[in-house]
Amino acid sequence: MLDIYLPIAQVNVDIFLLLFLSLAVGILSGLFGVGGGFLMTPFLIFMGIPPVYAVPNEVNNILATSVSGSLTHWYKNTLDYKMGLMIVSGGVVGTLLGITTFSYFSEIGKISLIISLLYMYLLAIVGTLMLIEGIKEKNRQIKKISIKKKLHEHNWLQGLPLRMRFHKSKLYESAITPISLGLIVGFVAAMMGIGGAFLMVPAMIYIVGMPVKLIPGTSLFVTVFISAIVTILHAFNYGSIDLFLVLPLILGSIVGVQFGQKLGQFLDSTELKSLFAMLLLAVSIAIGYDSFFREKSNSFNQTQLEKNDLNFLAELMVKFSSEVPFLYGALAIILAVALGALTAFGRKIASPVIKKLLSDFRKKEHPKKEEIKFPEK
């Protein structure tokens, strides 16, 4: 065990456990193509980090992984910028409403209970739906049943006013739909410290009707902006961004996502989806037990150190976050964006090199047999 002191959150955490959890959640995110915020935030709370610090720091982590993913989709030209910006416009309002609600429950001392309840119900619902879908998918594979889906399914939402054309997605529908989606996603992100992909992706498929190939990139594009807004608002209002916590989260998540994406190419996703669903249900039960049955102190194992006991970097960070919180939040955003962009560029450069090395290795392991040529008569 190697404990480090988080000067902003005022708690001691095991750095190896923190790195392991962020790596594990990153692998799951890459494996299933989902954001890891709805798992990582409860894990941070279980480690003794108060929700008022767990939420914004995980959002800052999501920002880094979203930048990395969205740049990859930008290279592939699988982004609908117009649709994304419409969702972001609603997300700005949603984050402001979320921060206001967060502040209200913080003032009355109920924010920990509210966040725990939200996560308990969210994970229970998502886990149950994912488990049902996994069982259905497995049954379809056994019975060899294929489901044909219509290219575009029209609903009453597409008949709302303020219709506009989204050329990339080949859609013509009301701007109210993506703006409303952004409103919900922004509110949830500000309250719970998650990117909102678990809401956006199904809504983009079944409500907005976007082409499937554009959904992951557009979802990540939206998450970048919403995460940045949530980070700056939390930093300005509460000074709750702790770079000593953010850095291990980002490093573990970015590495884990790369491994998860590679593993996903070799593993059967149907059975893994059911196991992942059971993990979500288990975490939901653990949160419920922790919230209602476990005796807890109000201190969250917080350790208030004297100013003289802090090292130079910790002291500088505390001073910077309290005196110029807006600039401190901007620094956290720049750091996350830089690490995410560096990962995307590194992957773009390294990917063809790795493929070539693997190809050369396979050729050496399994050389082609030379054809025996018989002399012509």
Confidence of residue 151 (pLDDT cuts 50, 70, 90): very low
Is residue 307 scored above 50 in pLDDT? no
Mean pLDDT along residues 166-192: 84
| C-alpha angle 185-129-285 in degrees, rounded to nearest 5 | 90
Number of folded domains that form the chain: 1
Q: How far apart are CA 273 and CA 268, in angstroms?
A: 9
The contacts found for 201-209 with CB under 8 angstroms, 24 or more apart, are 206/153, 207/155, 207/157, 207/177, 207/181, 208/83, 208/169, 208/171, 208/173, 208/177, 208/178, 208/181, 209/152, 209/153, 209/154, 209/158, 209/169, 209/171, 209/173
Considering the domain boundaries, does residue 305 fall inside one?
Answer: yes
User: In terms of C-beta density within 10 A (0-12 exposed, 13-18 middle, 19 or more buried), how is residue 96 classed?
Assistant: middle
Considering the domain boundaries, does residue 363 fall inside one?
Answer: no
Considering the domain boundaries, does residue 323 fall inside one?
Answer: yes
Considering the domain boundaries, does residue 86 fall inside one?
Answer: yes
Considering the domain boundaries, does residue 370 fall inside one?
Answer: no
Domain coverage including residue 118 = 3-293+300-347
Is residue 300 scored above 50 in pLDDT? no
> Which residues does 339 contact at the CB level (< 8 Å), separation at least 6?
64, 250, 251, 254
**Average pLDDT of the chain, as a whole number:** 78
- What is the model's pLDDT at position 146? 54
Is residue 97 scored above 90 in pLDDT? yes
Q: How far apart are CA 21 and CA 2, in angstroms?
A: 15
Mean pLDDT along residues 72-80: 81
Q: Kindly report the pTM of this predicted structure.
A: 0.78
Considering the domain boundaries, does residue 377 fall inside one?
Answer: no
pLDDT tens by residue, 245-258: 999 999 888 888 87
Which of 50-54, 69-73, 297-301 comes out lowest in average pLDDT? Answer: 297-301
Considering the domain boundaries, does residue 365 fall inside one?
Answer: no
pLDDT tens by residue, 327-336: 888 888 898 8
Considering the domain boundaries, does residue 196 fall inside one?
Answer: yes
